[in-house]
Amino acid sequence: MMFWVAVLAISILLYVLLDGFDLGVGILFAFTRDEIDRRRMMSAISPVWDGNETWLVMAGTVLFGAFPRAYATLLSAFYLPIIVMLGALILRGVAFEFRYKTVRFRWVWDLSFAAGSIVATMAQGVMIGALVEGLPVVNGGYAGGTFGWSGGFAWLCGVGLCLGYALLGAAWLVGKSEGVLRQRAYGFLLPLTIGVGGFLVAALCYALLRDIRIMDRWLQRPYLFLFPALGALASYFLIKGTLDRSDFLPFRMVSLIFVAAFATLAISFWPFMIPFSLTIAEAAAPESSLDFMFWGAGLIVLPLIFGYTATVYWLFRGKLRDETEPTETPAMVDYSATYPANQP
């Protein structure tokens, strides 16, 4: 059982970090008007964006197979936001491919790409906030109705995740781009860092004022304060790296902030999978099912996904080659040509 808990946690964390930065680039896309910069932004994520979403599929599959009771309860609670999220991700993917096949109506696909990124991120943040605030669960089943997940804290977390993903996206662009786009990405970093810090303060105040139950865990487990301290330290080095124009430090530090936030939530939830209604042991499938899954998903599928992900990031490492605009044509742009063959 603990093996699948670890796989689920790693899958969610990797999805947040990897798809988080390309969703963040999509959010920043909405605030960029220059066509050259827009092309470079999409070029910076084009080799990896679809593979990043594999970790969302992996997390959903593990939840379905290893923790079916949690899967049933969460799907019952989040049918609407999950459908909205998946629709936004589909729209975003279609826009990614189609914007280069038209000139006259490119604005439609640009809007779709940016809107899909924002809506998908909002949906994820709302679901996280609703889990933290607590879902209405009676006798192991969701009892909140269609909008039982909706609340002030949930929507606040949706906005906060948009700021966080945008910060992650800006840090990724700093490390992948040069010239004008790199400078503009640096311009996003400090305001977004302040915005994320403001969100965290607002979320903490809201949780204390509303007496959200999960805050009791901070008193029961004082070591949880180590993770916000780690996040604060990472924020310091993020700001320092931004001021020093250290291209590869910001993404590492923003990732560390997300890891600290994820660890805080995970340990605050423990041993519950749905606080404070369903424990991990109650949600788990029979041991025989978990053992059966291990031989296929655990020993074959999971290593393949790790291997594929590592290979793609290794092959497309380094910065984009230049800032020149590709030829204005409705045909699909070959992004692989923008990467150097042996960039360290």
Q: Using one digit for the tens of pLDDT, what is the confidence trace for 171-212?
A: 999 999 888 889 999 999 999 999 999 998 898 888 888 878
Note the CATH architecture for domain 2-317.
Up-down Bundle (1.20)
Check whether 344 has a pLDDT greater than 70. Answer: no
Amino acid at position 244, single letter? D
- Rounded to whole angstroms, the Cα distance separating 269 from 336 reads 42
User: Quick count: other Cβ atoms within 10 Å of Cβ 343?
Assistant: 11
Residue 91 near residue 111 (C-beta atoms within 8 A): no
Task: Please state the separation of Cα 205 from the chain's center in Å.
Answer: 24
Structure tokens at 269: 């939830």
77: helix, coil or strand? helix
Q: Which residues contact 252 (CB under 8 A, 6 or more apart)?
A: none
Give 99's pLDDT tier (boundaries 50, 70, 90).
confident
Residue at token pair 């997300």: 258
Residue 322 has a pLDDT of 57
Question: pLDDT of 311-323, one tens digit each?
Answer: 999 998 888 865 4
The pTM (predicted TM-score) of the whole model is 0.89
Angle made by CA atoms 107, 110, 112, in degrees to the nearest 5 = 110
Task: Report the alpha-carbon distance of residue 290 to residue 315 in Å, rounded.
Answer: 35
Structure tokens at 7: 């796989």
Q: What is the rounded CA–CA span in Å between residue 254 and residue 265? A: 17
DSSP 8-state symbol, 324: P
Token pair recorded at residue 142: 């969701």
Whether pLDDT at 8 is above 90? yes
Average pLDDT over residues 100-128: 92
Q: Is the peptide bond before 68 cis (omega within 30 degrees of 0)?
A: no
Burial of residue 229 (CB within 10 Å: 0-12, 13-18, 19+) is exposed
- DSSP code at position 138: E
Is 319:177 a contact under the CB 8 Å cutoff?
Answer: yes
